[in-house]
Structure 1
Amino acid sequence: MAEKFESLEKSIEKHIPEPELSEVKRILFGKTLRKLDLTKEVLKYAEEKDFELQGFGFDAQPEETRPARNIRVGIIQNQIVLPTTAPLGNQRDALHRRICDMIGAASQCGVNIVCLQEAWPMPFVFCTREKHPWCQLAESAEDGPTTKLMQEMAVKYNMVIVSPILERDEDHCEILWNTSVVISNSGEVLGKSRKNHIPRVGDFNESTYYMEGNTGHKVFQTQFGRIAVNICYGRHHPLNWLMYGQNGAEIVFNPSATVGALSEPMWPIEARCAAIANSYFTCCINRVGTELFPNEFTSGDGKPAHKDFGHFYGSSYVAGPDGSRTPGLCRTRDGLLVTE
C-alpha cells in the first residue's frame, strides 16, 4: 500500500468535497500559496522526462525602505536509475544524467538555488553494513566527479547548487563523511556541511560508514541569500535547527533519505515547526522509491533478513516562517518543486 499511495494532497482532493476541501487545506497547509506560472515548454519537458513539476510562491508584505528580494529555490527528489547490481560507475553516471536533466528544468523555471537529496549520486546503502563495494562511491568534496559536474551546472545556469554526497576525506586518512557540498553560481566550492546527528535505529546502520560531522552549524553567504544544510536526522533535534538560525540562515535545506514506517507522521511537522520557531524558510527533500540490494541484511529491530530498506516516500516540501507550506511532491515519482 505504501508504494501505491500517491500523496496525501491528492487523496484529500479526491475524497473531500468543496467547500470543506478549502478549510481542510487551510488547516493542514496554512494560507493558500500563489501558483507559479511555469511555461508550457518546461511542463512538457517534465512530462517527457517523467518527473513531477510543481511551483508555488510565498507572498510577503512589501516594505517601504528596502527593495524586494525575490529568489526561486528548487528541490529535487528522485529514485535510483539503475538497479544496485549494475556496475557502480554506471549507477553514478545514470544518476548524473538524470539530475542534470532536472537541474536544466529548474533553470528554465528561473531557479537561483537548487538542493538535491541526501547522498544523491548513489543508492542509500547505509542499511546494509557492507563496506564493499559501496564505499567505492565515496568521493572528494572538492574535486570528485560529482562536484566537478555540479560546478559545470552551476556556471552554466548561474545557480547555487547544494550537492549531498558520501565524502572521502583524502586529507585525513580517507575518513568517510555524509556531506553536503555548497557550490556558488560562479562554480566555486563555498564549503561543506557534514551530517551532525547519526541514526542508530532499525535498519539505519550509518555509523558503519561515518560518524557525526565536525563542521558545526555553518551558514553560507551566497548571491541569493544565506543558506544552511541540516542533513536528514538532524531535523529531529530542535536545537540543531536553532543553531542555524542563530548563525544567520535565511533558508535551511534538509536533504534526507527516510522511509515510511519510521518517520512519515513526523515528516510534515518538524521542518514546518522549525520554520515557525526560527523565522526562516525550510526545504525538506526526501528520496523516493524502494531500493533492492543483492544480499540480505538484518537489523537491530528483530525483523527477518531482508533485501530492501523500505519505501522512500518522497513528499518533499517547503515551509515558511508564517507556518504556511507548499503541498508535498508525490510519494512515488521523481519530482522538482520550485518555490518563490
Structure 2
Amino acid sequence: MATVEETLEKYIPEKELNEVKRILYGRTLLPLCDKWEDEEFEIQGWRMNSEIIEELRPPRLVRVGLIQHKIVLPTTQPILNQRDAIYKKIGSYIARAAQYNVQILCFQEAWNMPFAFCTREKYPWCEFAEAAETGPTTIFLSKFAKEYNMVIISPILERDSADGDTIWNTCVVINKDGKVLGKHRKNHIPRIGDFNESTYYMEGNTGHPVFDTPYGRIAINICYGRHHPLNWLMFGLNGAEIVFNPSATTQGLSEHLWPIEARCAAIANSYYTCAINRVGIETFEHEFTSGDGKPAHKDFGNFYGSSYITAPDGTRTPGLSRHKDGLLIGELDLNLCRQTKDIWGFRVSIL
C-alpha cells in the first residue's frame, strides 16, 4: 500500500516532481531530520516555520509529535497483556520523540487498546475503560511527561466512577510536570457502517476546551468531529493555536476526505492542525454485522495511517506510511497563526 508521496516519486520524473509537490502541498518545507525507516517503523520531521521574518518579534517555535501505531497482541489475548504490550512499544516511541526534542506529543484515538467499537460487545472491551485522572494509562504517561518536559495528549476510553460508571471517549492532557491539565470528551459519535460507537459511549459534555500549555494553546477534535466544520470553528473561537485530531478511520470509508478536512480547518481557522490515524487490521474472535446487509465479518478493514500536519497558510507535510507505525515531527512557528490572519485580512469577532 504505497503512500501518495511514494507513488509520485515512482512515476513522476524528478524534474517535475518538486513542482508537483509544491502545487499539492504548498510551499516547500525543509526537513527537520533525515527520514528514517525500517520494516515496521518510520520517522519524518519537517520545519513548518513562517517564511515571514519579523524584525521585532522572535519566532514562537514548538515541536509537536504524532504517533500512529498498530496493536501488538491478538485481540483474543488477556486484556492486561494486550494493554501492557502496547505500553512497552509506545514507551520506546516516546523516548524516540524525546530525542528529537518533541514538546507536545499526541497519540491516535483509543491508542492503548484495539478499536473494538464495532463488535457490539461491551465485554471484554469496556475493561479497557479507566479513570482519566488516576488510571494506569495516565500514570504510565505521566512519568514520561515529567522526565522529558513534554505535554502528552492521551486518547483513552474513560470510566467516570463519580457519574455512575459512565463511559466516555476522552483525551487526557498531561502537562510537562506530569500532572493532568484537563480532559476533553468526544463531541460527535458516529453511527455509520461498522462504527457503532453509541453502544459504548455518548456525546461528550466538555464543550470545546482549549488548554493553555507552556508551549502553546492546544485543543483536541476527536475523530468524527473532523466532519463538522463548526466543531473546528469553536476551538478556534476559544483561542486554539494547534488542534489535534486523533482518529481511527479505515480504508474505503472516508479516506478521500482524510487529506482534506484537517487541512481545510487549518486554513479556515488560522491555526495548525495535526491529523493522526492508526494503522493495521484488527481482527476479533466473533463475527459482527452492521445492519447494512453485508456479510458478517471479523474486522473493520485496514486502518490507513497517513498522519499529517497542516499550517495556517494551508501548507501541509507529507503523510506517514499507510501501513507502518510512525512518528511525525513538526517544528511550528505559532506566530504564523497571527500572520495568516493579517495576510488575508481575516478577523473573528464574538458577538
TM-score (norm 1): 0.95
Deviation at 1:28, TM superposition (A): 1.3
| Aligned residue identity for 2:118 | C
Deviation at 1:23, TM superposition (A): 2.1
Residues 1:175 and 2:166 aligned together: yes
Deviation at 1:204, TM superposition (A): 0.6
Give the 3-state SS of the residue equivalent to 2:245 in structure 1: strand
Deviation at 1:73, TM superposition (A): 0.3
**Is 54-63 or 256-265 further displaced after alignment?**
54-63
Instruction: Report if aligned partners of 2:33, 2:44 keep a CA contact under 8 Å in 1.
Output: no
* Aligned equivalent of 1:55: 45
In structure 2, distance between residues paired with 1:232 and 1:300: 22
* Aligned equivalent of 1:261: 252
Instruction: Report if aligned partners of 1:79, 1:289 keep a CA contact under 8 Å in 2.
Output: yes
Deviation readout 1:16-55 (Å, 9 max, x if unpaired):
11222122211211111110135x9xx5xx64x9410000
Counterpart of 2:263 (choices 272, 276, 282) is: 272
Residues 1:98 and 2:89 aligned together: yes
Instruction: Report if aligned partners of 1:34, 1:59 keep a CA contact under 8 Å in 2.
Output: no
Give the 3-state SS of the residue equivalent to 2:156 in structure 1: strand
Q: What fraction of aligned residue pairs are identical, expressed as a percent?
A: 66
Deviation at 1:66, TM superposition (A): 2.1
Deviation at 1:303, TM superposition (A): 1.0
* Aligned equivalent of 1:247: 238
Give the 3-state SS of the residue equivalent to 1:262 in structure 2: coil
* Aligned equivalent of 1:332: 323
Deviation at 1:337, TM superposition (A): 0.2
* Aligned equivalent of 1:139: 130
| Aligned residue identity for 1:113 | I
State how 1:1-340 maps to structure 2 within 5 Å. 5-37=1-33, 43=36, 47=38, 50-60=40-50, 61-340=52-331
| Aligned residue identity for 1:131 | K
| Aligned residue identity for 2:48 | F
Instruction: Report if aligned partners of 1:178, 1:194 keep a CA contact under 8 Å in 2.
Output: yes
Q: How many residue pairs end up in the alignment? A: 330
| Aligned residue identity for 1:53 | I
* Aligned equivalent of 2:341: none
| Aligned residue identity for 1:65 | L
Deviation readout 1:103-147 (Å, 9 max, x if unpaired):
100000010000000000000000001001110110000100000
Deviation readout 1:202-246 (Å, 9 max, x if unpaired):
011000000100000000000000000000000001100000000
| Aligned residue identity for 2:119 | T
Give the 3-state SS of the residue equivalent to 1:72 in structure 2: strand
Instruction: Report if aligned partners of 1:201, 1:300 keep a CA contact under 8 Å in 2.
Output: no
TM-score (norm 2): 0.92
Give the 3-state SS of the residue equivalent to 2:65 in structure 1: strand
In structure 2, distance between residues paired with 1:242 and 1:89: 39
**Is 324-333 or 55-64 further displaced after alignment?**
55-64
Instruction: Report if aligned partners of 1:280, 1:321 keep a CA contact under 8 Å in 2.
Output: yes
Deviation readout 1:49-105 (Å, 9 max, x if unpaired):
941000001121222232221110000000000010111000000111111110100
RMSD of aligned alpha carbons: 1.2
* Structure 2 CA distance for partners of 1:67 and 1:37, relative to 1, 3 Å: same
Give the 3-state SS of the residue equivalent to 2:317 in structure 1: coil
In structure 1, distance between residues paired with 2:264 and 2:183: 25
Give the 3-state SS of the residue equivalent to 1:260 in structure 2: coil
Unaligned runs of 5+ in 2: 332-351
